[in-house]
A and B are shown apart, each in its own frame.
Chain A
Amino acid sequence: MANKETLNNVLITGENSYASVEDSIGRLILKPQLHQRGWWIFFFIGLAGTGLLGVSITWLVYQGVGIWGNNQPVAWAFDIVNFVWWIGIGHAGTLISAILLLFKQQWRNSINRFAEAMTIFAVMCAGLYPLLHTGRPWVAIFWLFPYPNIMGMWPQFRSALEWDVFAVSTYFTISLVFWFMGLIPDFATMRDRSRNKFGKIAFAILSLGWRGSNQHWHRYEQANMLLAGLSTPLVLSVHTIVSYDFAISTVIGWNVTVFPPYFVAGAVFAGFAMVMNFLIPVRAYYGLKDLVTIRHIDWMCKILLATGMIVFYGYILEVFYGFYSGNVFETALTKDWRFNGPYSGYYWALILCNGIIPQLFWIPKMRTNLLVVWLVSFVVGIGMWLERFVIIPISLTNNYLPASNKMYYPTMWDFMMFGGTIGFFIFLMMLFLRFLPAINIFEMKDLLHKVINDESKVEPTVEAMNSKMNPTPAKEEVPA
């Protein structure tokens, strides 16, 4: 991995023209030979993981949730840990596509498509768990969705779990629509560039008759802003409601008022870490370094640092509450089940992963060293999983009645299902890289236009673009 890329304020580096931007993104789809061994290896890892997921779901449905390590009182364990972890990972995509769009942050253009795809795939992985943790997903339909059924039964609308259903399904729907809508002009580009018949037809259907007329663009921009406005509250609401699943209960270690903001920050934190985990290898492997520059990485590291600090503040507050509350159970949980006790290793690993290690990003050099960035992001991913593990099963092992305390041990199937969803995620990401434009082509062209014409006052371009001095002949351009 090359770590000697220069850091400047230019969002598109190298010699680029509109055509070359289009080409460097489009060729990932149009030239299968670009996807060499690396792609195939990860594709098969993903496929194997998906198979594993299928096997573990089948066995779960056949046998019931008894195959997991869940017990009484630890009724929520890996299932909910993984659900919260996956949902959180999706948040970076929504933040990038909605909030950064409204704030007119140009640098989002080259990572938004990628992050949005991750949102959708992560929510798909997350959505499996609430359905499957019931053990009978087919009955979960009426447990979760209010519809006038012949039993005259409705879900409990006063329960945060029911709010969760709406939060997550709204989140998925809006993200999917937003993502697809952003893809339409790019689908049209791919339709026009595609040489083989199947690709032409497939992209023609997906592009929904996009011709790039002024009217089309006008409507697109309006819809884009509307959807951005709709998704913005979702960035905050989804994980807030997920945190209510815990915060509004009376379980020691869950009943904490700081949960909503701390969960949201944690979600963005985990999401950006996952984006970098995927983006850094992908940009190197597919030669997208001109479009996803070291400047992007640097900024993402700063977001990681900022959200990481909020999360760390949350951990400190949890300890503070533990003692300040004067509640013997709270104090005992903090002292005997987190600082010490059988699970203390996980707690301290969490503090190390999420609290200490991301502080490396205070050092500018560390933010541009891709290997360090990748490793820290990876560690953050682990840390965020540990955070949910510390909160969910560990809090449940400790009860008001000491006689009810019971240890939790995951089984092989817990790990298989978790591994399975990771595999499924990788599988979908590989398909995404192969078949869809991984970076927003038209927004990159728009950005290039601004860079060349120095329109953007937000991003003063320090180094003149080569393409400005040698503009590409117009005839090479495919009309947008």
Chain B
Amino acid sequence: MAQIFKPSANHITQATLMGLAIGVPTVWLAIAALSRSPANTKVNVPLNQPIPFSHQHHAWELGIDCRYCHTSVEKSSYAGLPATETCMSCHSQIWTNSPLLEPVRQSYETGTPIKWNLVNKVPDFVHFNHSIHISRGLNCNTCHGPVQHMQITYKGNSFQMQWCLECHRAPDRHIYKDETRPDLQPRQQVFNLYWKYQTTGLDGLSERERALMLGTFNGTDNPKEREAGKQLVKDYGIKVQQLADCSVCHY
């Protein structure tokens, strides 16, 4: 009987099977890797703004407090973006002719708010509250990365749910108290850290604080620090057993 396929068909079949065996997991892993990479998360990818605002210049070089612009961060779920008037409180006096600031002046004259591009966003069905995180002493940089060193602002962390859960499942890995300033409330400690950094430089900071300021802190595994974290969790009345419940953020 005549053969339907040539002997090479065997090799083609084997190659196909091998290709499937390698190809399917490869595609699977590639999707997994891509969804976690900056291409998707935009971590470390500067986002262009109508005005090239520099946190590095304002927060670090000039030492302006975060709360000068993000006024509601301690009291509200929303940290707040500054009104044009806030910008003009200085820029009506300095750099009044800078072409880069033209959109600010425009906005001020016409009463139209500046359309900033949102860098950090959570989905509509996630209720994130800034005030509770600040009042538990979590530094801004824990989530936002080294903002005081950003020329054009970028995302410091992925804000994917598994990232949120890293802390919500084990808050003792992240929660912290500045031992050198026991007099400070957790809320004050957040902003004091920036002053400390300004006055002493990196050398005056503990290893953990240094990592926090440079945006490389990913939670501690040091047993001693975790023990301290556990004590703080207890003192602050953080209910770990329900911190990772769906309804904590999705309500």
Contacts and interface: CB of A to CB of B under 8 A. Distances in A.
B77 interface: no
A150 B162 contact: yes
Interface stretch (B5-13, B42-50, B134-142): B5-13
A131 B160 CA distance: 25
Given A148-B32, A209-B10, A209-B13, A204 B162 contact: no
A149 B13 CA distance: 33
Interface string B231-243: 0000000000000
B94 interface: no
Given A150-B35, A209-B10, A200 B4 contact: yes
Contacts of A149: 162
A462 interface: no
Contact of B161 (A150, A192, A200, A209): A150
B166 A152 contact: yes
A153 B9 contact: no
A191 B2 CA distance: 11
Contacts of A204: 4-5
Given A208-B13, A209-B9, A209-B10, A192 B1 contact: yes
A191 B4 contact: yes
B161 A153 contact: yes
Contacts of A148: 32
A2 interface: no
Contact of A150 (B5, B10, B13, B36): B36
Main secondary structure of the interface of B (DSSP, over half): helix
Main secondary structure of the interface of A (DSSP, over half): loop
Contacts of B35: 150
Interface in A192-229: 192, 200-201, 204, 208-209
A201 B6 CA distance: 12
A194 to B, nearest CB: 10
B165 interface: yes
Nearest to B168: A152
A220 to B, nearest CB: 18
* Residue among A148, A151, A191 facing the most chain B CB atoms (10 A cut-off): A151
* Residue among B9, B13, B162 facing the most chain A CB atoms (10 A cut-off): B162
Interface of A: 148-153, 191-192, 200-201, 204, 208-209
10 contacts: A148-B32, A150-B35, A150-B36, A150-B160, A152-B161, A153-B161, A192-B1, A200-B4, A209-B9, A209-B13
Given A151-B165, A152-B164, 19 more contacts: A148-B32, A149-B162, A150-B35, A150-B36, A150-B158, A150-B162, A151-B161, A151-B162, A152-B160, A152-B161, A152-B165, A152-B166, A153-B161, A153-B162, A191-B4, A192-B1, A204-B4, A208-B13, A209-B13
